[in-house]
Amino acid sequence: MNPGWFPTKFDMITVKNITKHFGKFKALDDLNLTMDRGECIALIGPNGCGKTTLIKSILGMVLPEKGEITFEGKNIKNDDEYRRDIGYMPQIGRYPENMTIEQVLNMVQGIRKHASDVDLDLYNAFEIEKFKTKRMRTLSGGTTQKVSATLAFMFQPKVLILDEPTAGLDPIAAEILKEKIIAAKNKGCLILITSHLLSELEDFVSQIIFMQDGQLILHKNVDDLKATTGQATIAKSIIHLLKELKS
Amino acid sequence: MMQILKYVALDILKNKIVIAYTVMLALFSWSAFGLEDNASKGVLTLLNIILLTVPLVSVLFTTIYVYNSNEFIELLISHPVKRSKIWKSLFIGLSTSMVVAYVIGTGIPLLLFADFGTAIMMITAGSLLSIIFVAVAFLSSILTRDKAKGIGISIIAWLYFALLFDGLVLFLFFQFADYPIEKVVVALSALSPIDLTRILILLRLDVSAMMGYTGAIFQNYFGSSWGLLLSFGLLLLWILIPFYFSLRKFKKKDL
Amino acid sequence: MNMKIIVTMSTINQLKYYFSYLSIFFLLILPAQLFAKTVYVGGNKQFKTIKSAIKESQDGDTIIVTKGVYKEGNIQLKKSLILIGKGNPIVDGQHEHEIFSVKVENVVIKGFQIQNSGRSVMSDPSAIKVYKGAKNVHILNNYLLNNYFGIFVQNTEKVIVKNNVIKATQAKEYQLGNGIHCWKSDSIQVIGNKIFGHRDGIYFEFVTASVIWKNQAHDNKRYGLHFMFAHNNAYISNKFVKNGAGVAVMYTRNIVMLYNVFQENWGDAAYGMLFKELSDCYLTGNKFYRNTTGIFFDGTSRIIIEKNLFKENGWGVRMQANCMDNLMEKNNFVGNTFDITTNGFLTLNKFVNNYWDKYEGFDINKDKIGDVPYRPLSLYSVIVEKNPPAMLLYRSFMIDLLDKSERILPSLTPENFIDNEPWMVPHKI
């Protein structure tokens, strides 16, 4: 049945033996991961555990010393085109100060020339139109996040990488974003999301990746996790697990 | 690339420092030609200004601008854009704006007052010098993440080429006064783009100044069309080499 | 009608009147001329060769040589003849002979094209050579082309060399002698000649009481003007341009140089003028443009240099420390790289009332004299004097700093190298 070119597993991103140091500090320590399409993965762990480094490695912003990362089976090293299929929302969006929101959006659209139809749902939902002529440096943290979210979803990517997406957003905006994430998940996107507030992720997360000191501690389906720990929520499961690990 | 370049250029051209720099150069040039009684004296006064301020402003402004572009780079890098494209766009944008500022500021009075050949020579040499120091700034700003350190490196680089290098050369002259070092001297001049530019323009300006035995050797090396080509080739190298190393480092940089 | 005739008649009468006086005058002072005859040389003339004409002539005769090419080897002039070329006759030495050898006094050679003399280091063959005792020879309006020596004057006096064009196109210096060469003579006049491409343009040795006036020497291989042991001479309104080594004058005293131009003598050993061991000379109105060195003084004394212009030279004046009691007064120094340099600390010369375009002082009492003394010797010029490769740093920022600080606090340049009364505006020269 399998004609050969069709992938047997639906793995979107694989991470093999990735190691990265920042000076003496080991941010990623021989990390292995496989992320499949259609999953919504919560990337959790204490501060400085290597979450952001992992995300940045996948995005090609950080270049690991060892190991390789593949995207749809292709090594991302020396490749840029794979990022066409990724929407990234940084933890703290940093933008050229003198550019207006409109200019930023236009420029990114200009770069992604091949983007067929642009998803403006968040643009409309956040009513960015109203302040599109404002310069980036004048924006509040929340508004900046709105711009980041809009950019991340704009080009209907196969993979969404969201670093603390709801931090700084007002509750209404956070809710809009959450709905958008769920919609994307339902479309079959791979969503990689980090958050400190595990309760926020409860509704839509399908897998959990737990990291500590640059190492992968745990990578499980939420249902499996809940079943093995016997807890009702993700948060409680994790705490349970941590206690177990310590003892 | 054009997209990125467009936004970089727009951003720089709106920058008040670039406008102030243009105005300053224009003021210097017009007053140099206005105050001196003959054009060649004006050109010499201008030469001093060019050799000092153009590298300084180019290197400082670029360094600061590159550090301030961190956000811009981060924004772009998460999109399907080649790293080299981002770096090159920034480089071209900065070089272009420095050259445009220079050409508007000094080029116009030069063309009006100095003879055509000299004016073209000064414009070319000054533009190259601007780009060289943009490249040097790219290198020094990629060497460290710390903005203050980066600016420090840039200032030291400028100080070295504008002042210390000459001091070292003079020191060498006295140390080796008993040896025939004229040819070594010619080679030495290639190690400092400011010196190279100065000699090129001087040979063009008042040839008698460079006479004597050393002068004759300079004339031999730099005065011929091959020498001229070689000198401009060297200046181009001064652009390419620092930029190449900065690009190589940028490609491997963690953002 | 009538009026006109009357006027014409009276004019003729007047002329007759004058002519009678003139003829009496000629009869009285030039009897020889009256009895002298005039013969012609040319293809269809009485004489076919110059030599045959000379043979048949007497002292005082005139030989008019018409158009043609004369290849007669060495032509000896042992009679006081007047040789006049009409229609540019060419006398060719075929690279073997000295062409005219003048051996008696009162000879005139005028209007010839004299070319291709022989070349020999032993006998110095020339286009025209004036031998010992041949006084009062006039060499006028000739065109001398590709000779070894052009005009060679030796052991004689009262020779006039005037309005000749002397040109050599040989490439190698060993094929070239001097344009006008004078040796051991007195009362020579060299006027209005143009000399190109020879070894030295004008060469004087042991020549005294002579005048060199309105000549031009350019593109000569060695010196435009070169004299040694030639005392009591005057050099006026000559122009020396682009000669290999400029002008060099040595071992001489009592020279006057007025209104000469020394221009574009470029190169390592080229000087607008090199003064070696000269004394008691006076220079004024001379202009030195764009030479490597305007004047190089080496072992000179008691020379007055007044109201000369030094413009756009590499070095305006280089005065070695072995010079003394020279006075530089009211000269203009404009656009030179270095106005003055010296190689020592001892300064026994005086600089006063010169205009220095690099002077940055002020004049509060408006007497046109700067209130602050000017030190024309820059530190950098001293450095370059000791260390020529330092020229590399010319006009670099560091050198400017060094010079400025040295001007304020002199420590390395001679203390008394100073113009205490620098002029604020250029002198009229």
The answer to whether residues C153 and C76 belong to one domain is yes
Does B208 contact chain C (CB < 8 Å)? yes
Using an 8 Å CB-CB cutoff, list chain B residues near C401: 163
Distance CA(B243)–CA(A16), nearest Å, equals 33
Q: How many residues does chain A have?
A: 247
**Residue C223 and residue C266 in one domain:** no
Q: Closest-CA residue in chain B for C338?
A: B209
Domain count, chain C: 2
The count of other CB atoms within 10 Å of the CB of residue A154 is 20
Q: Please, which pLDDT band fits residue A9 given cuts at 50, 70 and 90?
A: low
Q: Are A101 and A136 in contact (CB under 8 A)?
A: yes
Q: What is the DSSP track for A114-156?
A: T--S---HHHHHTTGGGGTTSBGGG--HHHHHHHHHHHHHHT-
CB spacing of B74 vs A59 below 8 angstroms = no
Are C215 and C314 within one domain? no
Residue B158 in contact with residue B55, Cβ under 8 Å? yes
Residue A11 binned pLDDT confidence (cut-offs 50, 70, 90): confident
In a domain? residue C3: no
Q: Does C312 sit within 8 Å of B206, measured CB to CB?
A: yes
**Looking at the DSSP assignment, which residues form a beta bridge with residue C288?**
C262, C310
Q: Which of C313, C395, C396 sits opposite B208 (nearest CB)?
A: C313
B79-95 residue pLDDT tens: 888 899 999 999 999 99
Regarding whether C419 and C306 lie in a shared domain, the answer is yes
CB-based burial label for C281 (10 Å; 0-12, 13-18, 19+): buried
Nearest chain B residue to A95, by CA: B71
Which chain C residues are Cβ-neighbours of B174 within 8 angstroms? 387
Residues of B in contact with A98 (CB under 8 A): 11, 14
The answer on C187 and C112 residing in a single domain is yes
Same domain, yes or no, for C232 and C327? no
Q: How far is CA A209 from CA A39, A233, B25, in A?
A: 12, 15, 59
Chains that touch C (3 or more CB pairs under 8 A): B
Q: DSSP E strands: which ranges in C97-238?
A: 100-102, 108-110, 113-115, 126-130, 138-140, 143-145, 149-154, 160-162, 165-167, 180-186, 189-191, 194-196, 202-208, 211-213, 216-218, 225-228, 233-236
In this structure, are residues A223 and A202 in contact, taking their beta carbons and an 8 Å threshold?
no
C399 shares contact with chain B (CB less than 8 Å): yes
Residue with the two structure tokens 């794979």: A82
Q: Tell me the nearest-neighbour CA distance from B111 into chain A, angstroms.
A: 35
Q: Does C425 touch chain B (CB under 8 A)?
A: no
Cβ of residue A104 closer than 8 Å to a chain B Cβ: yes
Cβ-nearest to A110 among B3, B77, B82: B3
Model confidence at A235: pLDDT above 70 = yes
- Give B226: exposed, middle or buried? Use CB within 10 Å, 0-12, 13-18, 19+: exposed
d(CA B194, CA B187): 14
Q: What are phi and psi of A22, to 5 degrees?
A: -115, 100
Q: What are the DSSP calls for B124-152, one per residue? A: HHHHHHHHHHHHHHHHHHHH-S-HHHHHH
- Give yes or no for a contact between C102 and C79, defined as CB atoms under 8 angstroms apart: no
Whether the predicted model's global pTM rises above the 0.80 cut: no
Please enumerate in sequence order all residues whose Cβ is within 8 A of that of A147, keeping only pairs 6 or more positions apart, or say none.
A93, A95, A101, A104, A105, A128, A136, A139
Mean residue pLDDT of chain A comes to 85
Using the Cβ of C392 and the Cβ atoms of chain B, whether some distance falls under 8 Å is answered with: yes
What are the C-alpha distances in Å from C30 to residues C22, C34, C46? 12, 7, 26
Query: Which domains are delineated in chain A?
Result: 36-49+65-246 (3.40.50.300)
pLDDT of residue A240: 84
Q: Count of CB atoms within 10 A of residue C148's CB?
A: 27
Boundaries of every domain in chain B: 2-251
Give me the pLDDT at residue B207, please.
58
C154 & C90 share domain: yes
Chains with 3+ CB–CB pairs under 8 A to A are: B
Tell me if C150 is assigned to some domain.
yes
Scored b (16 or more CB within 10 A) or e, A196-205 reads eebebbeebb
Q: Are A93 and A144 in contact (CB under 8 A)?
A: yes
What is the CATH classification number for the domain harbouring C56? 2.160.20.10
Q: In Å, how far are A40, B1, B171, B223, C355 from C263, measured between CA atoms?
A: 89, 57, 35, 21, 20
pLDDT at position B49 over 50: yes
Contact C215, C192 (CB under 8 A): yes
Find chain A residues with C-beta within 8 A of B75's C-beta.
Answer: 93-96, 104, 108
Residue B72 at interface with chain A, using a CB cutoff of 8 Å: yes
Residue of B nearest to A21 (CA): B254
Distance between B201 CA and the closest CA of chain C, angstroms: 11
Q: Is the dihedral of CA A56, A60, A61, A63 positive or negative?
A: positive
How far, in Å, CA of A25 to CA of A213, rounded?
10
CA nearest to C85, candidates C105, C73, C68: C68
Which whole number is the average pLDDT over A124-136?
A: 89
Q: Is the pLDDT of residue B204 over 60?
A: yes
State the nearest Cα–Cα gap between B81 and chain A, in angstroms. 6
- Average pLDDT (A34-60) is 88
* Per-residue confidence (pLDDT) for residue C160, from 0 to 100: 96
SS3 C425: coil
In this structure, are C179 and C83 located in the same domain? yes
Distance CA A36, CA A14 (A): 9
- Alpha-carbon distance of C264 to C246, in angstroms, equals 8
- Rounded Cα distance between C213 and C152, Å, is 18
Residues in a beta bridge with C317: C295, C340
Q: Which residue has the tokens 């070594």?
A: B184
Residue A2 pLDDT: 46
Contact B78 A95 (CB under 8 A): no
Same domain, C74 and C195: yes
Kindly state the helix (H) or strand (E) to which residue C274 belongs, with its residue range.
Answer: strand C271-284
User: Touching check for A112 and chain B: CB below 8 Å?
Assistant: yes
Task: Look at residues A11, A16, A30 and name the one whose alpha carbon lies nearest to residue A215.
Answer: A30
Nearest CA to C99 out of C72, C121, C79, C138 is that of C72
Q: What is the C-alpha separation between A51 and C402, in angstroms, rounded?
A: 59
What is the pLDDT at residue C323?
92
- Position A68 pLDDT exceeds 50: yes
Q: For residues A229 and A191, which has the higher predicted lDDT (pLDDT)?
A: A191
Name the closest residue on chain B to residue A78, using Cα atoms.
B82
Does B17 have pLDDT greater than 80? yes
- Contact predicate A198/A205, CB 8 Å: no
Same domain for C193 and C319, yes or no, is no
C265, C355, C396, best to mutate vs chain B, most B CBs in 10 Å:
C396
- Per the structure, the complete domain to which residue C343 belongs is given by 262-377+414-429
Which residue of chain B has the CA closest to A155?
B79
Establish if A77 touches chain B: CB-CB under 8 angstroms.
no
- Residue C141 included in any domain: yes
Contact residues, B window 215-254, toward A, CB-based 8 Å cutoff: 252, 254
- Which of A61, A103, A108 is facing B254, going by the closest CB pair? A61
Interface of A with B in 33-62 (CB under 8 A): 56, 59-62
Nearest to A96 among B3, B71, B80 (CB): B71
Which of C268, C314, C396 is closest, CB to CB, to B198?
C396
Across the interface, of A86, A97, A107, the residue whose CB is closest to B3 is: A107
CB-CB contact of B128 with B235 (8 Å): yes
pLDDT digits 0-9 by tens, B232-255:
899 999 999 999 999 999 998 887
What is the C-alpha separation between C315 and C265, in angstroms, rounded? 12
Sequential pLDDT tens for chain C (429 residues)? 455 555 555 566 666 666 666 666 555 555 555 578 899 999 888 899 999 999 999 999 999 999 999 999 999 999 999 999 999 999 999 999 999 999 999 999 999 999 999 998 888 999 999 999 999 999 999 999 999 999 999 999 999 999 999 999 988 888 899 999 999 999 999 999 999 999 999 999 999 999 999 999 999 999 999 999 999 999 999 999 999 888 999 999 999 999 999 998 887 778 999 999 999 999 999 999 989 899 999 999 999 999 999 998 888 999 998 999 999 999 999 988 889 988 887 778 999 999 998 888 888 988 999 998 998 888 888 888 888 778 878 888 888 888 888 877 777 777 778 899 999 999 998
Sign of torsion, CA C297 C300 C301 C303?
A: negative
- Contact between chains at B75 and A95 (C-beta distance less than 8 A): yes
Radius of gyration of chain C measured on its C-alpha atoms: 27
Look at residue C406 and tell me if it is in a domain. no
pLDDT at A1: 43
DSSP string, C336-379: -SEEEE-SSS--EEEEES-EETT-----TT-SSB-SS-B----H
Kindly determine whether residue B170 and residue C383, on different chains, have CB atoms separated by under 8 Å. Answer: yes
CA dihedral of A194, A198, A200, A204, whole degrees rounded to 10:
80
